[in-house]
Amino acid sequence: MNVLAYLIPISLILGGLGLVGFLYTLKARQYDDPEGDSRRILSDTWDDHPKP
């Protein structure tokens, strides 16, 4: 049963990381234009070098 002492905190921390990640994307307004974002993937403008 001792293994639970590790597993429960680990599962909570991993889930919490996911939650924090989601809240970050929400704050950064990444859900404002779902339709446009799904199309922007098709753009090859920044394929060869990152956006400055």
Partner 1 sequence: MTTVTTNTPVACPGCLATPSEAVPVVVPDARLMLSLPTIHCQACIAKVEKALNAYPGIKNARVNLTLKRAVIDADPEINAPELVTLLSSEGFEAHELDPGALNDTATNMAGRDLLMRLAVAGFASMNVMLLSVAVWSGATDATRDLFHWISAAIAIPAVAFSAQPFFRNAWAALRAGRLNMDVPITLAILLALATSLWETWLSGHHAYFDAALTLTFFLLAGRWLDARARSAARSAAEELTALEVPRAWRLGADGASEVPVATLRVNDLVQVRPGARAPVDGIVTEGRSEVDRAMLTGETLPEARGVGDVISAGEINLTGPLTLRASAVGPDTSLQRMAALVAVAESGRSRYTSLADRAAKLYAPGVHVISALAFLGWLIWSGDMRVSLNIAAAVLIITCPCALGLAVPAVTTAASGRLFGKGLLIKNATALERLAEVDTVIFDKTGTLTTGKPHLSNWDRLTAKQRSVAYALAKGSSHPLSRAVAARATAERCEPALLTDITEKPGWGTEAQLDGQTVRLGRPDWLEMIPDGDGICAGLDMGDGVCRLLTFEDDARGGASETIEALKKLKVSVILLSGDRACVVSDFAFKLGVPEWHASMLPNEKAEFVDALSRDGRRVLMVGDGLNDTAALATAHVSISPAQALDAARAASDMVLLGQDLSPVAEAIVVARQSTRRIKENFRIATIYNVIAVPLAVAGMATPLIAALAMSTSSITVSLNALRVRERK
Instruction: Classify residue 51 as left (phi > 0), alpha (psi -120 to 50) or beta.
Output: beta
Please tell me the count of residues contacting partner 1 according to CB under 8 A. Answer: 27
> In 35-52, which positions are buried (b, 16+ CB within 10 angstroms) versus exposed (e)?
eeeeeeeeeeeeeeeeee
Site string for partner 1, 18-47 (x = CB under 8 A): xx--xx--x-xxxxxxxxx--xx-xx-x--
Q: How far is the CB of 3 from partner 1 (least distance, A)?
A: 12
Query: What are the backbone angles phi and psi of residue 9, rounded to the nearest 5°?
Result: -60, -40
Q: Is 10 in the site for partner 1 (CB under 8 A)?
A: no
Q: Which residues bind partner 1 (CB under 8 A)?
A: 1, 4, 8, 11-12, 15-16, 18-19, 22-23, 26, 28-36, 39-40, 42-43, 45, 51
